[in-house]
Amino acid sequence: MTSGFFDQLDARVAATGSLLCVGLDPRDTTPIKALAGCRAIIDATASHVAAFKPNSAFFEAMGPEGIEVLIEVVESIPDEIPVLLDAKRGDISSTAAAYAVAAFDTIGAGAVTVSPYLGADAFDPFLEHEGRGIFVLCRTSNPSGADLQEMELSSGDPLYLAVARVVAALPMDRVGLVVGATEPEAMAKVRSVAPKHWILAPGVGAQGGSLESAVAAGIRIDGSGLLLAVSRAIAEAPNPESVVTALNSSVSRARHRAGTVAPVSEPSLAVALFDAGCIRLGDFELKSGARSPIYLDLRMLAGHPTLLRRVAARYLPLVGAPTRIAGVPLAGLPIATAVSLLSAIPLVYPRPEQKDHGTRSVIEGPFEAGDRVVVIDDVATSGSSVLDVVDRLRSAGLVVERAVVLIDREGGAGPALVEQGIRLHSVTKLSDMIGLLLEAGRVSEGEARRVREFLVA
């Protein structure tokens, strides 16, 4: 390999626009027919896919000749296409070292799936092979996977999320995660704690996984980082190429709906917000009484559902894995709702005033004392709106340590929130947004200068 597996994967996705990983699982136990069948699939689909994933078990079942067939199948795959060996290895270090030699040197794969149950001993021998990668089993697509993977730890996290946190601390250019497309809620939580790592998502099609749900939950903010593994739907089709073409189109639409990848003609997020009236230039009086040359009106997002979803997708890598999301009334509520829908994290929100009837609730939505909450708002200036919500949430027994906004107006909100034990995360800063609008020709040099002068005043 001339470059690392994940570098090769990034390049392949950029070249083809595909996120499909075609599984090679020969059901015919005759070695000659198995080889011919795999080569036929490779020939029909190679120009349209991101990667191939031969499953070692189906080749091993054929005996010694099956291993030879596996090696020939890998050799048949064009050099520019990454090869991931589905073998689910995981053993003590000396045995893992032998598995690594088999996967990388004997078979010729670029990456291999591994089990995390033995800890670092199961990972390290594979990572000693320069340029090769591993995908760690996290939340698998089989129904009984929940028996262990959903077990709650003393931290309150399920076991699979603890695995994700371990992997998130490992280099993203060497290690990815396996999360079944059948588990979109788990995938969203994994993506929130490992925002940059690749996720392999098996289970689309025959196992019942939804392609659209998997993309919405697992796509990275750059529109990549998710390998959708499909095997039987392609292998059993009369025309595998047409199936792959149709799947690529479906993935493209799902990426667009998720707000991470747009058609070439669609403007950047900054321009889209400007064109939707969410960013306006002029002379405005702010809530504080100060005059501003720019006004952010993200309430307009409610009238632009596609843009709202796109904005919400930008929040996901910053949200983390809380028990609840809380929206700041009023502008933060539509965004928080959209983030909740994309992440499958339940939503709560404080009422402006306590109800004087019924339950007399202060906080709407189900929760328990001790739940960890991330506060979602549209913009941050001084931080006062977020702090007001934090006070009410904490008074109800909720734990709040993080807030996320789309735009930081750079008015001191970050330091103010830190003093109250809240870390502020923003998708972007106002100064960066103005720079993008200037590059796009939406604002003039003079308008951009006035905004920048206002920010440093």
Sequence-ordered list of residues with C-beta below 8 angstroms from that of 456, at least 6 positions apart, any chain: none
CB 206 within 8 A of CB 232: yes
Beta partners for residue 179, in sequence order: 139
* Residue 202: both structure tokens together: 């098996």
Burial call 55-94: b when 16+ CB within 10 Å, e when fewer: bbebbeebeeebbebbeebbeebeeebbbbbbbbbbbeee
Tell me the Cα Rg of the chain.
25
| Spatial distance between the Cα atoms of 196 and 191, rounded to a whole number of angstroms | 8
> Is there a catalytic annotation at residue 88?
yes
Closest CA to 294 of 309, 313, 279: 279
- Within 13 Å of residue 61, how many CA atoms lie on the same side as its CB? 12
| Spatial distance between the Cα atoms of 402 and 66, rounded to a whole number of angstroms | 53
CB 420 within 8 A of CB 390: yes
The bridge status of strand 279-285 relative to strand 291-296 is antiparallel
| Spatial distance between the Cα atoms of 246 and 242, rounded to a whole number of angstroms | 6
Q: Given 88, 287, 355, 429, which residue is catalytic?
A: 88
Query: For residue 110, which amino acid is it?
Result: G
Closest CA to 22 of 186, 237, 224, 222: 237
Residues with catalytic annotation? 88
